[in-house]
Chain A
Amino acid sequence: MTEQDTTAEAADPALRDRLVDSIRDLLPQVLGREVAGVTADTALMDALGISSTTGLELVLELEERLELEISVEELGRDDFGTVGSLAAYVAGNLLTEA
């Protein structure tokens, strides 16, 4: 298990839920189309067609929207698995207080 996973799991669940909501709000802007029925379990790549580049765009848009700084150093392909896994990564890798 990596250090990053440990940090993500230790992150505040309420913060993770708020981040899921924010990601859901940002998805239409990043994808350039409306998306319905998005939950924490929605697969970003397989269900929504997010690429690694649009996934990164999503993270950086999230940073601007929430006025937070996120460490992207350890961000890997697995973190883009679902909306929830990305929210967990962000929650565990904040450089500023949420």
Chain B
Amino acid sequence: MTAVVGVGVWVPEGRVGIEEVGGELGLSGMQVKIFRRYHRLGEIARDPHGGLAELLRGALDGLDALRGQEHRVRYVLHARTFPTVVPYPHDPVREVCDAYGLGHAAVFAVGHHACASGLLALDAAGRLLAAEGDHDGLALVLTGEKTFTAEARLVPGTSFFGEGAAACLVAATGERDRLLAYASDLRGDIDSGDEEAALAFQRVYADTLAATITAAVARAGLAMDDVGVVLPHNVNRVAWHQVCRTLGYPRERVVLDNVAATGHLFCADSFVNYRTAQARGLLRQGEPYVMAAAGAGSGAAFSAMAFVH
């Protein structure tokens, strides 16, 4: 079963207050106040001087498990919220792979699960390696995007996107951290960018994400009581409070530390929160935990993975 060999993350030091970002996007003072008071967002991480390549380099520099193992990497998957992450014809993912000794690997993007594409990429990476039966092979999942358009700065009524990246080294099998189960609920009916679809997404969000988490945990042969910690996506605090109420799961065990400090880092949230949980001593050997994410764009996706550390 798929195993996460190591996780490297990078969040740039630059921060912009949501009032400034709201001003850039033409939001009213009241709209921004709702984000700060109700959604509990505060500052957004941004690197004003670097591009996507610099974000990914930062994450790769923090991935110690990759050192000396580059030749074993068969696949590099860039998991994306948005299909287009840089202007044509730039290809920073390929450039970074060449610079880090990964030029031999098959490099491609994984998307269409919006901000849950990071979990999709983890699953795909493990299954690709397993299908080859090559137990020496590794795959690298990269996440992180630039807030380079207005659309890539705001999730209307929900969150602000921030800049940060993660690099996750994956093996087909292994003891730590072992993927126990993956569940994903795709809602193709919520498939437009209009206000009605956004409201439909909000209406089903807590129940559907809670059900997806429950499904992943049940497939792993576990109950929610067994789950030591949930590593969420950083959309906002209140959305997770609703999910916790639905699950009957203590909100204190959801790692929400980065919501007010960085904003929603596209597909990188769960991995950045993994490192935060690790630093806080929340990941204990042998204890299960959950990564969960959801997003809407051309269709909505709700995904969860159960792991054992």
A residues apposed to B, CB below 8 Å: 2, 51-53, 56-57, 60-61, 72-77
In the complex, are the beta carbons of B38 and A76 less than 8 A apart? no
Known contacts A76-B242, A76-B245; decide if A56 and B34 are in contact (CB<8 Å). Answer: yes
A84 to B202, CA, bound (A): 23
Cβ A53 vs Cβ B34 within 8 A = yes
Say how far B251's CB is from chain A's closest CB, in angstroms: 10
**Do A56 and B38 touch across chains, with their CB atoms under 8 A apart?**
yes
Contacts of A60 in B (CB 8 A): 30, 33-34, 37
Nearest-CB residue, chain B, relative to A69: B37
CB <8 Å contact, A51 and B37: no
Chain B residues bordering chain A, tally (CB within 8 A) = 13
| Chain A positions within 8 Å of B202 at CB level | 52
Cβ-defined contact, A52 with B157, below 8 A = yes
Nearest Cβ in chain A — how far from B222, in angstroms?
Answer: 26
B218 contacts partner chain A, Cβ-Cβ < 8 Å: no
Return 26 A-B CB contacts under 8 Å, by A number: A2-B245, A51-B199, A52-B199, A52-B202, A53-B31, A53-B34, A53-B157, A56-B34, A56-B38, A57-B30, A57-B31, A57-B34, A60-B30, A60-B33, A60-B34, A60-B37, A61-B30, A72-B37, A72-B38, A73-B241, A74-B241, A75-B38, A75-B238, A76-B242, A76-B245, A77-B242
Q: How far is the CB of A35 from chain B (nearest CB, A)?
A: 19
* Chain A CB within 10 A, most for which of B38, B238, B241: B38
Interface string of B51-69 (1 = CB under 8 A from A): 0000000000000000000
A56, B39: Cα distance in complex, Å? 10
Q: Which residues of B contact A (CB under 8 A)?
A: 30-31, 33-34, 37-38, 157, 199, 202, 238, 241-242, 245
- Docked CA distance A76–B38 (Å): 11
Interface of B, helix, strand, loop or mixed by DSSP: helix
Q: Provide the bound-state CA to CA distance between A52 and B242, in Å.
A: 14
Instruction: Using CB atoms, name the residue of chain B closest to A63.
Output: B37
**Cα distance A72–B199 when bound, in Å?**
20
Query: B252 to chain A: closest CB distance in Å?
Result: 13
Q: How far is the CB of B141 from chain A (nearest CB, A)?
A: 33
Which residues does chain A contribute within 8 Å of B241, judged by CB atoms? 73-74
Chain B residues with CB under 8 Å of A75's CB are: 38, 238
Which A residues touch B245, using CB under 8 A? 2, 76
Most buried by A among B30, B33, B202: B30
How many Å lie between the Cα of A61 and that of B157 in the bound state? Answer: 17
Q: A57 to B37, alpha carbons, bound, how many Å? A: 11
Chain B residues, CB < 8 A from A61: 30
B199 / chain A contacts, CB cutoff of 8 Å? 51-52
Instruction: State the CA gap A57–B157 with chains docked (Å).
Output: 11
Tell me the complex Cα distance, A61–B37, Å: 13
Chain A residues whose C-beta falls within 8 Å of the C-beta of B30 in the assembled complex: 57, 60-61
**Which of the listed residues B33, B34, B199, B242 has the most CB atoms from chain A within 10 Å of its own CB?**
B34
Q: Which of A2, A56, A72, A75 has the most CB of B within 10 A?
A: A56
A72 to B241, CA, bound (A): 12
In the bound complex, CA of A2 to CA of B31 (Å):
28
**Cα–Cα, bound, A52→B203 (Å):** 10
A sample of 12 more A-B contacts (CB under 8 A), given A60-B37, A76-B242, is A51-B199, A52-B157, A52-B202, A53-B34, A56-B34, A57-B31, A60-B34, A72-B37, A73-B238, A74-B241, A75-B38, A76-B245
